[in-house]
Amino acid sequence: MEDNNNKIADDNDKAEEFEFNFINIPWDDRTKFSKIGIIALLAAICLAIIGGVLNNFILHYKSFYKNTQQTHELICRIVKIEAYPFVARIHLASTQQLLCLGAVISSSSVIANGVCVKSGPIRLGLGSPSNQLCKKGFTVDLVDPIRHDGAISNTLVILTTMEKMSSCSSTIKISEHVDFISKAYILGRPLLADRVTKTLSRQPATLLSADEITNISLIPFKNLKKSSMICVKDLSNCPVRAGDLLIQDDEVLGLASTSVHRTDLSNMACFADLNVVRPELTELL
């Protein structure tokens, strides 16, 4: 029994001696090998900490860079409104909120999506806001609805003013024929529209042929007539909103049928074909 107690005591002494030698022994009393071991251990700990910090920094930088790229993908190309004098900005009269866009098709008339007049009395913004002749906008004296089965509201509208618009705008022709080979582009409201809109968004688009439109499932447009629409593909993530203009060869093809704030997996959007209502427009203008 005594032998066992002595053995346990010896083991405890050895443990205490080892713990003392490894941790608490003064630096000057350590052997050269012990000093090298301690330095190596500290260096390893420092390198591990530095490695962890660098790794986190690199991961954060990659994430930031990726997010920056994604953000840039969401930003549309911005163009000055002066470059497109045929574009009318339709504002809510009470708050000057920019509701949607329209196309100037005569010296006194603008064609727009029917949803643009649902919110209340409106005013037309034309030309540069810095131009004193154009700054205050134009009143809408007459609204003529036109039935259109390719528009989300099933209606387009002709907005007529008795004021002189020619000093602030130019007209654009409605295209009679669609060139499915040539590129088209979409003019839309800027992402951050305010009361004094000085820019528009612009993005290219590839037109779908009539056969392609027939074969695709237009879930967001299930109540609309496909033959009265023009659809485009290969869009970026730039939003397409109701009333945006589809342009080709300096002629207007259509007005966006509905809002697509971020295009779906098909990268597709559809527009009310303006050529469908050409006879009605001829009677009104």
Per-residue pLDDT, 68? 39
Output the pLDDT for position 72: 40
pLDDT at res. 241: 86
Q: What is the pLDDT of residues 225-255, one digit of tens each?
A: 888 889 888 887 778 888 899 999 999 999 9
Same domain, 211 and 192: yes
pLDDT for the residue numbered 195: 52
pLDDT < 50: residue spans in the chain? 1-2, 4-9, 11-20, 64-74, 262-263, 265
Q: Give the chain's domain count.
A: 2
pLDDT value of position 67: 43
Do 97 and 57 have their domain in common?
A: no
Report the distance separating Cα 49 and Cα 41, nearest Å.
12
DSSP letter for each residue of 197-256: --EEEEEEEEEPPHHHHHHS--GGGTTS-GGGEEEEE---S--B-TTPEEEETTEEEEEE
Boundary residue ending a domain (39, 55, 74): 74
- State which of 14, 48, 74 marks the end of a domain: 74
**Please, is 106 exposed, middle or buried when counting C-beta atoms within 10 Å of its C-beta (0-12, 13-18, 19+)?**
middle
Same domain, 151 and 186: yes
User: Shortest CA distance to 207 belongs to which of 230, 188, 191?
Assistant: 230
Predicted pLDDT of residue 138: 93
CB 241 within 8 A of CB 189: yes
Domain that holds residue 108: 77-284
Whether 154 and 244 share a structural domain: yes
Q: In this structure, are 176 and 141 located in the same domain? A: yes
Element (H, E) at 270: strand 269-273
* CB distance 86 to 169 below 8 Å: yes
147 and 191 co-located in one domain: yes
Contact yes or no for 110/168 (Cβ under 8 A): no
Residue 253, pLDDT score: 95
Q: What is residue 97's predicted lDDT score, i.e. its pLDDT?
A: 87
State residue 20's pLDDT score.
Answer: 47
Residue 6 falls in which region: left (phi positive, over 0), alpha (psi -120 to 50) or beta: alpha
Please give the Cα distance from 139 to 121 (Å, whole number): 9
Question: The CATH number of the domain where 168 resides is what?
Answer: 2.40.10.120
Together in a domain, 61 and 90: no
Answer yes or no: are the C-beta atoms of 220 and 260 closer than 8 Å: yes
Q: What is the pLDDT of residue 171?
A: 94
278's enclosing H/E stretch is helix 278-284
pLDDT for the residue 246: 96
Note the pLDDT of residue 261. Answer: 52
Residue 11 shares a structural domain with residue 68: yes
The pLDDT assigned to 143 comes to 94
Q: What is the pLDDT of residue 190?
A: 78
Q: 163 and 49 in one domain? A: no
